[in-house]
Amino acid sequence: MTDAVQSFAAANANPLLEAWSAPFGVPPFTRITPPHFLPAFERALAEHDAEIDAIASQAAAPTFDNTVATFENSGRTLSRVSDVFHALSGAHTNAELQAIEREISPKLAVHFSRIYLNSSLYQRVATLFEQRAVVGLSPEQGRVLERLHLRFRRAGAHLDEATKTRLKAISERLATLGTTFSQNVLADEQSYALVLDGETELSGLPEFLRAAARQAAEERGLAGKHVITLSRSSVEPFLQFSARRDLREKIFRAWVARGDGGGKTDNKAIIAESIALRAERARLLGYGTFADYRLDDSMAKTPSNVRALLEKVWPLARSRAAADRDAMQELIAEAGGNFRLAPWDWRYYAERLRKRRHDVEEAKVKPYLQLDNIIAAAFDTAQRLFGLSFVPLGNVPVWHPDVRVWEVIGEGGRHVGVFFGDYFARTSKHSGAWMTTLRDQEKLKGDIRPQVVNVMNFSKGADGAPSLLSFDDARTLFHEFGHALHALLSDVTYPSISGTSVLTDFVELPSQLYEHWLERPEVLRRFALHATTGEPMPEDLLRRLLAARTFNQGFATVEYVSSALVDLEFHSRAVDGAFDVTALERDTLAAIGMPEEIVMRHRPMHFQHVFSGGGYASAYYSYMWSEVLDADAFRAFEEAGDIFDAETAKRLHDNIYSAGGSRDPEELYKAFRGRLPTPDALLERRGLLDSPPVS
């Protein structure tokens, strides 16, 4: 049998290319295997090419329907194959999938470059754009056309053929680099384990962390021992509680050195090449730097506007962190220590400082934050705000036994969508937390309801015990669920503006805003129930926990803002040729006065937001830009006197959660709030306007 015949046979027996008969059209995950993907991609790419050629070559004059709407309707097979593949490659990968990812990523980049550099197709779109005022478009159609025209321009469709050829090559190479970067980070995380043997090495660790470490050891064939991994949900609690300073230093150094080991998984050369290619692309498109190019299509608009926000926050955060550092140094002295506070000490002594200032200990809070209860709290908040209910589904295929599924139902029993929750860390999963979709909402081809996925990396409870979260873990769950609601509640016609298809520095508004409800006593009183007794969190502990909400915000803000400033600096350079990534990181941090006791939340060598595909390249500031919005937005509920005020919730639904990218973000925000915000609410929420506390 020839290769072509084998490929044809595989494609025709391919579940990715069949009609999906599972409830709600969920992908048949239990039947999909890695060998199905390349034949499915091959067919899907060819199908999409044919659809694009038909649009670009038609003799009829361009209209919205025969050009833009038809373009929106194209590539459906490719979308569903890609969505399934990327869900698996992020949440449950293996060597076969990683090999496919390395092969298909540059092919996808070339494919989409070819589309957005297609001169004939661009000319049809450009003609419509020029006529947009007189062709009778609805507001949503006008927005779709505007965004499509901009995508072609930002791709370089208007440039000469030689430049377009180079732009295609750059896109292909960047796709390869991004995939390699991500896989290198995962490889470093998978290959490391801090094995703890005996009570001496477990000193200071609470039972919930011991149980998680015991299970991690058993999964690695090390029964009787304990293992701390480089998952954030494992390493951060260890740094917080371990009394063994030498072990804290050991795992901290491994954690911050991901992608920086000097061997085959070292990412420094990838970073240097990626930044140089991005800078070259920006120059070819007429911009001075990649940051100028990237931010031109954002709410911030310019690097100087981003710097203005970050530099307003930076000195306040640094001052607060310095005050906390001095207080922790005093704790070290009181305990007889004769060393200076180091980065691997910060979380350990911060826990003790929080105990002194607020009488709050993580080990006493965590039993009240059961995963199932926090999920229920997120669902209940969505019901009270938006009328949603969540019904467990046990009859749909999933990619791992730990994945949970719910049907989302709206008022009147209306089917809203399907929600998947994949909550636990495992070696087959990339680190971090994210939202993705298996299908987006749209109305172009019927009433298509979304299928939305939340992925976390929490520690699983051992031997059937409840999984317990830190307050930061619980906040992460609410954050990602806010993204999920943005996709679930979407109510637009066209796929390109559905759900989270908005500007990067607006996309974090729905997620970060949703975190506010977790921090309210009205929610915690109902759902913060003790894992053993079932009793609600005592009022005194609840009061102290919420009073401590801004504790250590100097540290958290320095971690974040330094990462955002380094990202911006890396991409604000007119790079031409190789440069020293480590030196640029060091020099940038020195220039802003980075406290030596704190390390960036994401060092460049494992900064996946920025270098694994580049979705947040020169845009990591977006979380803080959106936080300016979300801090002000929640005040609308506070001003209404009810955090579930129906009228305010309806404005929020109509103008933020359901609107997708159908209008300009500033217009959407003003429709909800009546005005744009200032950073004051952000600074107040983080406690950066208050005087540093006296210990």
691 pLDDT more than 90: no
Confidence band, pLDDT 50/70/90 cuts, at residue 693: low
The structure tokens 């949603």 sit at 388
Q: Which fold has domain 367-547+622-685?
A: Neurolysin; domain 3 (1.10.1370)
Residue closest to 251 by CA, chosen among 352, 347, 183: 347
Burial 540-577 (b: 16+ CB within 10 A, else e): ebbebbbebebbbbbbbbbbbbbbbbbbbbbbbeebee
> Above pLDDT 70, what percent of the chain?
97
**5-19, 325-339, 472-486, 673-687: segment of lowest average pLDDT:** 5-19
Identify the pLDDT of residue 574.
Answer: 77
Identify the pLDDT of residue 76.
Answer: 97
CA–CA distance, 596 with 589 (Å, rounded to integer): 9
Confidence band, pLDDT 50/70/90 cuts, at residue 453: very high
Identify the pLDDT of residue 613.
Answer: 83
130 pLDDT more than 80: yes
The 10s digit of each residue's pLDDT in 557-609 is 999 999 999 999 999 987 766 779 999 999 999 999 999 999 999 999 999 99
Which ranges in the chain are annotated with CATH 1.10.1370.40? 3-186, 367-547+622-685
Check if the beta carbon of residue 497 is closer than 8 Å to that of residue 661: yes
Alpha helices in 244-361 (DSSP H): 245-256, 268-284, 290-296, 303-334, 346-358
Check if the beta carbon of residue 525 is closer than 8 Å to that of residue 543: no
CA–CA distance, 38 with 8 (Å, rounded to integer): 11
> Above pLDDT 90, what percent of the chain?
93
CATH class of the domain at 3-186? mainly alpha
Residue type, 225: K
CA–CA distance, 261 with 437 (Å, rounded to integer): 34
Check if the beta carbon of residue 146 is closer than 8 Å to that of residue 139: no
By DSSP bridging, strand 434-439 and strand 451-458 are: antiparallel
Give, in order, the Cα–Cα distances in Å from 632 to each of 375, 382, 509, 522, 684.
Answer: 25, 20, 10, 20, 10
- The sheet with strand 389-392 has its strands ordered as 389-392, 404-409, 415-424, 451-458, 434-439
Check if the beta carbon of residue 470 is closer than 8 Å to that of residue 362: yes
Alpha helices in 519-552 (DSSP H): 521-527, 539-547
Sign of CA dihedral 152, 156, 162, 165: negative
360 pLDDT more than 60: yes
114 pLDDT more than 60: yes
Active site residues: 480
Mean pLDDT of 481-492: 98
Residues recorded for the chain: 695
Mean pLDDT of 639-664: 98
Check if the beta carbon of residue 157 is closer than 8 Å to that of residue 129: no
Strand partners, 419: 406, 452
Residue closest to 482 by CA, chosen among 652, 677, 685: 652
54 pLDDT more than 50: yes
Check if the beta carbon of residue 317 is closer than 8 Å to that of residue 688: yes
**229-233, 475-479, 617-621: segment of lowest average pLDDT:** 229-233
Identify the pLDDT of residue 9.
Answer: 45
1 pLDDT more than 90: no
Residue closest to 566 by CA, chosen among 505, 608, 617: 617
The 10s digit of each residue's pLDDT in 233-283 is 899 999 999 999 999 999 999 999 999 999 999 999 999 999 999 999 999
Strand partners, 455: 422, 434
Residue type, 9: A
- What average pLDDT does the chain have? 95
Confidence band, pLDDT 50/70/90 cuts, at residue 329: very high
CATH tag for 268-360+553-611 (out of 3.40.630.30, 1.10.10.10, 1.10.1370.10, 3.50.50.60): 1.10.1370.10
CA–CA distance, 454 with 306 (Å, rounded to integer): 29
Strand partners, 439: 451
Identify the pLDDT of residue 464.
Answer: 84
Q: How many CA atoms lie within 13 A of 77 on its CB side?
A: 21
Higher pLDDT, 691 or 472: 472
For the whole prediction, is pTM greater than 0.75? yes
* Kind plus residue range of the DSSP H or E element containing 630: helix 622-640
7 pLDDT more than 60: no
Give, in order, the Cα–Cα distances in Å from 57 to each of 124, 164, 482, 504.
Answer: 10, 20, 42, 33
Identify the pLDDT of residue 575.
Answer: 72
Q: From the CB of residue 159, how many other CB atoms can be counted at a distance below 10 Å? A: 18
CA–CA distance, 39 with 227 (Å, rounded to integer): 40
Which ranges in the chain are annotated with CATH 1.10.1370.10? 268-360+553-611
The 10s digit of each residue's pLDDT in 388-405 is 999 999 999 999 999 999
Identify the pLDDT of residue 12.
Answer: 59
